[in-house]
């Protein structure tokens, strides 16, 4: 079941995402986290809530979706650095509660180890952004829905979309990534997908109204029992108003 909530702008997307997340910010919870610009506002609100209300992450565990292959952890664009800068450095989560797939060394072994770690816990809520080609995590179009954690090539579209982060460094976007597969994502008890901006409108439309197909990886969420999608007006611009709740 997918519930779609449409709000005015990115700030409101982040407010509603935080409201959806809040019940899971408690001892024993397992959070699935995402990178990209979309969840940054949500993470800001989690930090504010930690500072102002004392919400503790000491007994919370996290699993991130993905990581680039070949970037050292300390690289400014590694997802390891992103997550520490945007969230982990500002809350009280123990470092050994954080799981991020490793894009360094023996990648096959890393993928297996990540699946094994995920098998020991169940993600209570998985945060997702969406790529303009409908990818979730780094599951690009044509990834089998049955895939678990694996190494993948990045499409030209995704590399173009993410060039804005690497261009200022004078570097190329990596060609490969290691990512949870659709099968891992579908095991989460709840999914929270956030999207804003015009360049997401087609992907949001296809995810919700298109057929369930590996051509649009996010369309698999139509088969998930508990998904909340929070979008701004631009990302919702190709939807029929009867498709969403307006807030
Ligand atoms: C990357 C990440 C995805 C993310 C997507 C959208 O490819 N691997 O997890 O959802 O980008 O990013 P943004 O939120 O910056 O638009």
Spell out the domains of the chain, with CATH numbers in brackets. 8-190+206-221 (3.40.50.1360)
Distance 129 CA to ligand 1 centre (A): 5
Contacts of 12 (CB under 8 A, 6+ apart): 232, 247
What is residue 136's DSSP assignment? B
- Taking the C-alpha atoms of residue 6 and residue 1, their distance in angstroms, rounded to an integer, is 16
Which pair of tokens denotes residue 70? 């070949």
Q: What is the CB < 6 Å shell around ligand 1?
A: 34-38, 65-66, 129-131, 137-138, 158, 162
pLDDT of residue 79: 98
Helices (H), the chain: 10-21, 40-53, 79-86, 107-119, 156-161, 163-166, 182-186, 201-209
Residue of the CA atom closest to atom 1 of ligand 1: 36
151 neighbors 85 (Cβ within 8 angstroms) = no
> How far out from the chain centre does Cα 212 lie?
20
Distance 152 CA to ligand 1 centre (A): 15
Q: Kindly report the pTM of this predicted structure.
A: 0.97
Tell me whether residue 175 is one of the annotated catalytic residues.
no
- Taking the C-alpha atoms of residue 4 and residue 230, their distance in angstroms, rounded to an integer, is 6
Which mutation among 33, 35, 193 tests ligand 1's pocket best, with the greatest number of atoms within 8 A of CB? 35
Given 50, 99, 135, 150, the catalytic residue: 135
Between the alpha carbon of residue 160 and those of residues 72, 154, 175, the distances in Å are 21, 10, 11
pLDDT of residue 147: 98
pLDDT < 70 positions in the chain: none
Tell me whether residue 140 is one of the annotated catalytic residues.
yes
pLDDT of residue 176: 98
Distance 97 CA to ligand 1 centre (A): 23
């Amino acid at each position: 079941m997918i519930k779609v909530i449409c709000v005015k702008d990115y700030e409101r997307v982040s407010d509603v995402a935080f409201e959806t997340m809040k019940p899971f910010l408690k001892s024993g919870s397992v959070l699935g986290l995402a990178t990209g610009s979309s969840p940054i506002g949500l993470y800001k609100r989690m930090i504010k809530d930690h500072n102002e209300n004392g919400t503790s992450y000491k007994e919370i565990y996290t699993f991130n979706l993905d990581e680039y292959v070949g970037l050292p952890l300390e690289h400014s664009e590694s997802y390891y650095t992103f997550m520490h800068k945007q969230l982990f450095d500002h809350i009280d989560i123990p470092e050994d509660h954080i799981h991020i797939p490793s894009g360094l060394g023996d990648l096959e072994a890393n993928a297996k180890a990540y699946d094994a770690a995920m098998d020991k816990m169940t993600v209570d809520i998985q945060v997702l952004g969406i790529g303009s080609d409908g990818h979730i995590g780094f599951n690009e179009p044509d990834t089998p829905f049955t895939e678990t954690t694996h190494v993948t090539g990045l499409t030209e579209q995704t590399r173009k979309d993410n060039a804005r982060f690497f261009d200022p460094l004078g570097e190329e976007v990596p060609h490969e990534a290691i990512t949870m597969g659709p099968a891992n994502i579908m095991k989460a008890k709840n999914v929270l997908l956030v999207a804003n901006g015009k360049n997401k409108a087609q992907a949001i439309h296809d995810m919700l109204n298109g057929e369930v197909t590996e051509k649009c990886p996010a369309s698999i969420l139509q088969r998930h029992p508990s998904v909340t999608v929070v979008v701004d007006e631009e990302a919702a611009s190709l939807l029929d108003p009867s498709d969403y709740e307006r807030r």
